[in-house]
Amino acid sequence: MSDVYNSILLDMKKLKGVKRIALAGRDGYLIGEHASEGSETLTLMSANMLQAAENITNTLEKVNPNRVIVDYKGGKLITTSVGSKALISVMTEKDASIDSIIKELDKTAGRIKEIL
C-alpha cells in the first residue's frame, strides 16, 4: 500500500517550490515515504504542532485548523491533517508561492484520505 502513497506524494514533490514532503500517522511516524534524511523528525514535530493548534482552536473556537504554517528563514513548513488518521508535512523553498502548494496539498490530502 505504501507504493500508492509514494506515488501520490511524488506528484506533489514535483510541484515547483516543494523541497520535502512526508506522510505520517497522527502520532508522527512515517506511513509512506518519499522522503529523505530527517523526514521522521519533520513529521514527529509536525504532529506535535498540529495537535497543539487543534487543542488551541478547539478550546477557544470549537473548530479544527485547516493547516499549520511555520515561516522560517529557509522557506515554509506546512502541515495539514489527512482526516483523523494522518498528516502531510511539506517544506518549501524560500521564495515558493504557497498558494499553489496549499491548493495541491489539499487535493493530495483528499486523495490519501479516500485511501485511508
Q: What is the pTM of this model?
A: 0.90
The set of cell numbers assigned to 105 is: 496539498
**pLDDT, tens only, 97-112:** 999 999 999 999 999 9
| Full set of structural domains in the chain with CATH | 2-115 (3.30.450.30)
Instruction: Specify the DSSP element, H or E, that contains 6.
Output: helix 2-13
DSSP 33-54: ----TTHHHHHHHHHHHHHHHH
**pLDDT, tens only, 16-56:** 999 999 999 999 999 865 557 788 899 999 999 999 999 99
Q: With beta carbons less than 8 A apart as the criterion, state whether 53 and 65 touch.
A: yes
